[in-house]
């Protein structure tokens, strides 16, 4: 029957006593396992005090499961852990390669979208430029030529100048 272990708290470091409680084993067993399983390397501080990180607590739980629940010997558990880690590395490598392939596909997709949007934008700018030219042409033909001093002539010049500025802004490269 499998023992239910308490959840691992969200902490960065755990003392040997905390790990012993979290994994339901004695501290002297943890010290022994450190000698037998090279994957276990807790940080040691002053007074040779051990501090375990979350991934090490998870590894200890795996070791405990292999030894106590599945009945492996120390050598068998060590070999099984190495197989598991090799399998994980291979999976990570495959995932990494898959991610690279996806990245290349996304980059190509982004370039296609950018090119299409750029073409569409310039087509839209050209259309707007044609519309402005048409509007200017209509204004030039429909507005009578007033004396330079009249108010309408000044307004016409302002509108015309603004239209040219808008056209310049629309034609500017983005």
Helix (H, G, I), strand (E, B) or coil at 148: coil
Residue 8 φ then ψ, to 5°: -85, 120
pLDDT value of position 27: 95
In the structure, what pLDDT confidence band is assigned to residue 166 with cuts at 50, 70 and 90? confident
Query: Residue 122: pLDDT above 50?
Result: yes
Query: Tokens standing for 65?
Result: 């499961």
In the structure, what pLDDT confidence band is assigned to residue 99 with cuts at 50, 70 and 90? confident
Alpha-carbon torsion (88, 92, 95, 97), positive or negative: negative
Under DSSP, the state recorded for 66 is I
Query: Residue 148: pLDDT above 60?
Result: no
In the structure, what pLDDT confidence band is assigned to residue 1 with cuts at 50, 70 and 90? very low
Place of tokens 């590894």: 59
Average pLDDT value over all residues in the chain: 81
Residue-wise pLDDT tens digits, 30-66: 999 999 998 899 999 888 899 999 999 999 999 999 9
pLDDT value of position 143: 52
Helix (H, G, I), strand (E, B) or coil at 96: helix
pLDDT average, residue stretch 93-110: 74
Predicted TM-score of the model (pTM): 0.53
């Amino acid at each position: 029957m499998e023992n239910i272990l308490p959840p691992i708290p969200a902490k960065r470091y755990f003392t040997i006593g905390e790990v012993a409680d979290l994994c339901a084993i004695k501290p002297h067993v943890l010290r022994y396992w450190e000698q037998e399983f090279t994957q276990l390397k807790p940080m040691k501080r002053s007074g040779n005090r051990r501090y375990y990180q979350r991934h090490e607590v998870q590894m200890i739980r795996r070791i405990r499961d292999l030894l106590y629940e599945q009945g492996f010997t120390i050598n068998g558990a060590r070999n099984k852990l190495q197989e598991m880690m090799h399998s994980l590395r291979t999976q990570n490598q495959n995932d990494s390669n898959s991610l690279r392939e996806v990245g290349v596909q996304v980059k190509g997709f982004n370039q296609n979208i950018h090119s299409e949007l750029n073409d569409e934008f310039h087509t839209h700018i050209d259309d707007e430029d044609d519309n402005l030219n048409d509007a200017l042409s209509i204004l030039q033909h429909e507005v009578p030529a007033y004396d330079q001093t009249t108010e309408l002539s000044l307004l016409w010049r302002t509108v015309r100048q603004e239209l040219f500025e808008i056209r310049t802004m629309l034609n500017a490269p983005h």
